[in-house]
Amino acid sequence: MPELPEVETIRRAIEPRIAGSSIAGISLPDPSIAGAAGPEALRASYGSTVRVVLRRGKHLILLLERNRGLVLHLRMTGALLLDTPEPKDRVRAIIEFSNGERLVFVDTRRLGTVRMYEDLKPLLQRLGPEPLDTDLTPESLGESLARHRIPVKAALLDQHILAGIGNMYADEALHRAGIHPLTPSHELTHTQVASLWKAVRHVLGEAIACQGASINTYRLPNGERGSAHDAFNVAHSKGAQCLRCGTSIERIMVRKRGAYFCPTCQS
């Protein structure tokens, strides 16, 4: 599941290859990837120069001129390939650039999207702060969390509160911070918020350094796997022993999502 570290890894891989060139054309073997706006909406990007490739939360943004942008979201099983042979199946979109590069969007479950934004502001504004930005402080995170009475696990997954965290890294951050996933967001103490702030940044930073986690289908644009999952303590580890205390990792449901945690370290 591509989350912030995976999308950031992809961004770093494709940015130097396509920034400065223009969008020559987009073909859609699966038109539904363009969503309600339809495939025609993407034509507005043709001929526009990609100034830079940005990431906001889990969104990959090919920034064009005048705050326009082509925005890709990989959702559950999406992947972007740049150097690998084109697969026979599951190719949903191919973006071709003036310098000859071809970005191939493959997606088994067809939940991913490609959208053209004539103005990126609405998208950027509705997303919460970037967890790794310096302007996210323990205080500002605490204020956001205090405004909700949902389980802290659900708060971490809410892209309006923090942008980019998904199920794996939410579990890892909560374990590192020693916080039970069902703890009501507004009941967290200042100490817990500070631990969580630190844990989120640590977990995401380490994962980027490992080029993301390839527990499932995630691959780098060159087809390689990331190794961040080797450092996981709880995510997808039901029955394994907690590396800190030896207790068996448990899995409960929080808002219909699997939540892995250590019942001893996170109580």
Partner DNA sequence: CCCGGAACCTGAAGGC
Partner DNA sequence: TGCCTTCAGGTTCCGG
Question: Which residues would be at the binding site for DNA (CB under 7 A)?
Answer: 1, 3, 32, 57-59, 73, 75-76, 108-111, 147-150, 154, 157, 159, 166-168, 236, 253, 255-258
Catalytic residue check, 257: yes
CA distance 16 to 28: 24
73 or 175, CB closer to DNA? 73
Could you say which DSSP state residue 185 is in? Answer: G
> Residues 56, 58, 92, 176: which is the catalytic one?
58
24 or 182, CB closer to DNA? 182
> Among candidates 80, 100, 101, 102, which has minimal Cα distance to 90?
80
| Burial annotation 12-37 (CB, 10 A radius, 16+ → b, else e) | ebbbebbbeeebeebebeeeebbeee
97 or 151, CB closer to DNA? 151
Catalytic residue check, 88: no
* Number of other CB atoms surrounding residue 109 within 10 Å: 11
For residue 78, CA distances in Å to 106, 133, 142, 147 come to: 6, 25, 32, 33
> Taking the complex as a whole, how short is the minimal distance between the CB of residue 138 and DNA, in angstroms?
21
> Residues 2, 5, 151, 181: which is the catalytic one?
2
Catalytic residue check, 58: yes
Both tokens of 105, joined, read 């969007």
66 or 109, CB closer to DNA? 109
> Taking the complex as a whole, how short is the minimal distance between the CB of residue 92 and DNA, in angstroms?
10
Catalytic residue check, 85: no
> Taking the complex as a whole, how short is the minimal distance between the CB of residue 144 and DNA, in angstroms?
10
Note whether 8 and 218 are within 8 A (CB). no
> Taking the complex as a whole, how short is the minimal distance between the CB of residue 257 and DNA, in angstroms?
5
Where in the sequence numbering do the catalytic residues fall?
A: 2-3, 58, 257
